[in-house]
Structure formats: structure tokens, C-alpha cells
Amino acid sequence: MGLRRAQGPDGGLTASTYSYLGGFDGSSNVLAGQLRGVPVVGTLAHSFVTSFSGKEVPPDPMLAPAAGQGPRVDLTPRVEAWLERVCAHLGLGVQDPHPGERAAFVAYALAFPRAFQGLLDTYSVRRSGLPNFLAVALALGELGYRAVGVRLDSGDLLQQAQEIRALFRTTGAQFQAPWLESVPIAVSNNIDEEELARLSQQGSEVNVIGIGTSVVTCPRQPSLGCVYKLVSVGGQPRMKLTEDPEKQTLPGSKAAFRLLGSDGSPLLDLLQLAEEPAPQAGQELRVWPRGAQEACTVRPARVEPLLRLWVQQGQLCEPLPSLAESRAFAQRSLSQLSPAHRRLEPPAGYQVALSEKLRALVQRLSAGAPL
């Protein structure tokens, strides 16, 4: 949901595309849906709600039953009748809910009766947004329609979701509308990793989480610590030596492999020179984990090559995968990681190792020895 916060002319489109690839269910960016096939989802805006004063007359206030049989009815009087019953149930006066907000909900319901939803916090969740939503939702319910959700965009989202779910249950029981108990609750409002974990905890009543700013602006890591560096010229390896070991490059053309255990989880990723034979499943390998002073041995149950030639001399070697295929591949890869690697705090570092031949080359070049 971060289109307006995206950086650069293409930032919104790429953020929508790659967030979907990485595991999000959809984007509010309609252009991403049109150009990239990203599922488009979203809710109504506060500006839509505040644009209504309550004095508006819908151009066509009549709505047919969901089943398509029976006469069309004027939705507004039914909403007003339900509002009295809902306010009595919630202990509110009928003058408390904002009439403009209610008019906005009615207009939305007339336009999208099968996809009605309510944004509850434009004025007051408890005194306005919730009773207005319930009045419209129950009026639609009489005609066979079911509201698809509500959204909260301020305050303690976890606590409010629990309170609203409880009111949905009591209101559904009061008015013999059991479907009301399971109306999805969506939340948004500068949600970061910590708040996401909190909203997803056991017992949470939150069903949908909308994330924007924290995705498109990447506040924790606004740039990636990786660059292209020269590693070979005419078949001769090259290496950048610096005072900072972390900025040293690994010389030579290389191949990369993922070594997996018998349960399918990754053991480590292996970097080796391209000229070396590929490691084999069941073969014992002596490797040098990055940052370690000693070698270790590993016997993979499965080996996956990580490098694949897609472009050669400016030409595609094979058709690129679709976004759906890339998304499925990303999800499979993430699912292979252990919980220790996926946990928020503190995540375990993923191990990368060098082959003995690549490490020996690094040692020789670091020492200034001739090739």
C-alpha cells in the first residue's frame, strides 16, 4: 500500500511487483495489476469518506436483492432503520455516528454491494465508524449481501481488532446475523517488522495487514551492500585488497551451489572456481566457511546449482519465467530456510563457504604471490 511513499518514477511499480514476488498477497497499485499481473486489492480511502457531508442524494438509491429476484429497494431508509437498532444495542444515540461517513458507506455499498467494506477510523471507531458500518452491513444482509471487511488505520490495532471482533459477535447474535462474526478485519498504519509480528501473534483477530512505507522505503536497509567488481581479465583472476577484510573481493570466475541435508534444508552455499567439478550428492567435501579459521567437512544429500545463464552477449538464452513462477520459486526457497534463519530477532547467519581451491587462490593473491 506504499505507492505514494515510493522513491523515483518507477519505485511504486517495482515495489508492488517485488513485494508480491516475495510473498505479499496483492497490491493496491492498479498499474501493477495492469502491467505485471499483480492481484489488485485495497480498501476505500479517508478522502472518500470525508468528501461526503450527509446531505448527498444517491443518483440511484435502489438496490436489487443479491439473488436477483424480488423488487429493488431504497437502501438509505433501511440503513437508517438499522442504525436505530444498532445504536440502541451499542448504547449510543442515533445522532452520534457521523452522517457524512454513513452517506459514504451507503454510496460505496450501492456501487459495490458484493464487496462492501468500511473504513472505521475517519471520525471515531466506536461512536461513528462501527455503528455506521453495522447499519449498512445489516441492511445489505437483509438483501442477501455479505460485507467483506473493515479497516483500522490508527491507534492500538491489535487491541481494537479484539474489541471489534467481540462487538461483531454480540451484534451478530443480537440480530441473528451469524455471518457478522467472521467479517475480516484489516489493519494498516506504518506497520514495520515488529508490529507485523505482534499483529500476527496467537489469538490476534487481525485477518489482513496492509503495509506500505516500511516496504517501499526500506528504512532498515535503504541500500544493499553489494556491488559489481572485476574478478577476472582474459581468464586471469583479479582481486581487490583493502584494509577492510569485508571489502575484499573473491577472485576468478566462480560457480555457486546450495548443499542440502536429507530433510531438504540448506546446509550452506558453496562458492568455487568455475573450472572445478561440481560437488556431488553423497560426496564428502572439505570447505572453508567465510570468517572461519578452520575448514570443515560436509556431506550433502542434495546439491542445487545456483547460477544459471540467462543473458549472453546481450541476448536472452531462454524465456524469462513469469511473475507467478518467480513467486512460487521464491516461496519454495524461503520455506527451505530453518526457523533460526527466518526469525526476526536475532536471526542466525546463513553460512557461505569457499572450496579449498578458491580459498588457496585468495590466500596466494592476498600474500602477493604470482599466479
Q: What is the pLDDT of residues 15-69, one digit of tens each?
A: 999 999 999 999 999 999 999 999 999 899 999 999 999 999 999 999 999 998 8
Q: How far apart are CA 295 and CA 356, in angstroms?
A: 9
| pLDDT (tens digit per residue) in 304-314 | 999 999 999 99
The answer, yes or no, to whether residue 369 has pLDDT greater than 70, is no
| pLDDT (tens digit per residue) in 356-366 | 999 999 999 98
Compute the average pLDDT of residues 90-114: 97
* φ/ψ bin of 175: left (φ > 0), alpha (ψ from -120 to 50), beta (otherwise): alpha
pLDDT at 103: 98
What percent of the chain shows pLDDT beyond 70? 99
Compute the average pLDDT of residues 278-282: 97
Q: When comparing pLDDT for 62 and 344, which is higher?
A: 62
* Residue 224 pLDDT grade (very low, low, confident, very high; cuts 50, 70, 90): confident
pLDDT at 179: 97
Mean pLDDT of the chain: 94
**Minimal CA–CA distance to 213: which of 178, 245, 188?**
188
161 CB contacts (<8 Å, ≥6 apart)? 152, 185, 187, 199, 204, 205, 206
pLDDT at 168: 98
- What residue spans of the chain are helical by DSSP H? 11-22, 30-36, 46-50, 75-90, 99-111, 130-142, 157-174, 193-199, 213-216, 323-336, 339-342, 356-366
pTM of whole model > 0.75? yes
| pLDDT (tens digit per residue) in 141-199 | 999 999 999 999 999 999 999 999 999 999 999 999 999 999 999 999 999 999 999 99
> What three-state secondary structure class fits 42?
coil
> What three-state secondary structure class fits 268?
strand
Q: Can you list the domains of the chain with their CATH numbers?
A: 42-189 (3.20.20), 228-309+351-370 (no CATH)
The answer, yes or no, to whether residue 371 has pLDDT greater than 70, is no
| pLDDT (tens digit per residue) in 117-148 | 999 999 999 999 999 999 999 999 999 999 99
pLDDT at 248: 86
CB-CB contact of 51 with 108 (8 Å) = no
Angle (CA) 154 195 33, round 5°: 75
pLDDT at 120: 98
* DSSP string for 146-201: ---EEEE-SS-HHHHHHHHHHHHHHHHHHTT-GGGGG--EEE-SS--HHHHHHHTS
